[in-house]
Every structure is written in C-alpha cells, then in structure tokens.
Amino acid sequence: MSPVALSTVRIVTTRFNTDVHILSSDLRVGCSENSIVDNFAKEGAVVHVDEKTGRLDGYAFRKHKKIMDKHPISNIKFKNYKLPFWNESIDLVKKLHNIFPEFSSIGWDIAITQNGPVVIEGNCCWDYTIPQTTTGGLRKRWEQLKKI
C-alpha cells in the first residue's frame, strides 16, 4: 500500500467464554515520504478492514487531517481493496490469543508479506483511538459479540 513504510493491520481479538473473536480490524499505512512508520500519530492513516472479507472501507483517516479515498503516494484506492492472506491473518491471531488466556483482549500488529502474515507485536493495552476513528466506536460490535 505504502511504498515508504511497512503497513500493518491492527487486529483486536477478544475472548467470550472460551472462544476468541475479532473485535476490530484496521489497516495502518504510512503517508509521508519522510516517515518509514505507519503510526496514526506520525502522519499515518487508518482505514477499517471488514473482518469477514478483508476488504477495506472507502475512506482512510489521518489525525487532524481530512479523510482520503486513496493513498497519497501510491494512489491505491481504498474502497474494496482486498488484503491478501486475510483468512490466514485471522486464523493466526485467534490461535495466538489462545496462548494468552489471561488477556481478555489483545491488539495484534500484523504485517502482511508476500509469504503471508507476520506478527510484529501483541498489545494487551491497545489504543482504542483507531477503531473509534474508523467505525465510531466499538459498542455495536461488542453488543454483537455478547449475543454469540
């Protein structure tokens, strides 16, 4: 997506009873030619990823800046862009969450390489600002998961 920075997907898993579910998923992309990171706080952008299909929503958001419908450097349009290895990424974070049953939720940073997903890190204290920005909050998704 970005020719200058490694883009990662923040996939947040949560546990209800014994099952691991996806609470949110957002692609983070670097948007400045002067930055090699995808951080939202460092001029990056975030775009929601449909957790079932791996397709991006139509718009990305930048902190304190307007929304975008395409990447400012690569010009790749966000709407319906399908992330490769999406099912493998979801399977990986669910499997990993089961290794850490003491955490009710974990924010996973996943890089999707040409060979598949690679874990950058897992965060037990993940930043809710990103899903708040891309979807308006997690309450609706949380309520859906409680009914499962």
Q: What is the predicted pLDDT for the residue at 94?
A: 97
What percent of the chain clears pLDDT 70, i.e. is strictly above it? 97
104 and 14 Cβ atoms separated by less than 8 Å: yes
Q: Which CATH class is domain 8-146?
A: alpha beta
Q: CA–CA distance from 18 to each of 72, 120, 148 (Å)? A: 42, 25, 12
How do the domains of the chain map onto residue ranges? Answer: 8-146
**Alpha carbon distance 91, 96 (integer Å):** 9
Amino acid at site 74: S
> How long is the chain?
148
Q: What is the predicted pLDDT for the residue at 1?
A: 77
Give me the helices (H) in 31-114, please: 86-97
pTM score above 0.75: yes
Dihedral pair phi/psi, residue 53, rounded to 5°: -110, -20
Q: What is the predicted pLDDT for the residue at 34?
A: 73
**Alpha carbon distance 73, 91 (integer Å):** 31
pLDDT in tens, 60-110: 998 877 899 998 889 999 999 999 999 999 999 999 999 998 999 999 999
Which whole number is the average pLDDT over 24-45? 80
Of the CA atoms within 13 Å of residue 39, those in its CB half-sphere come to: 8
5 falls in which pLDDT band (50, 70, 90)? Answer: confident
CA nearest to 64, candidates 78, 37, 45, 38: 45
Helix (H, G, I), strand (E, B) or coil at 135: helix
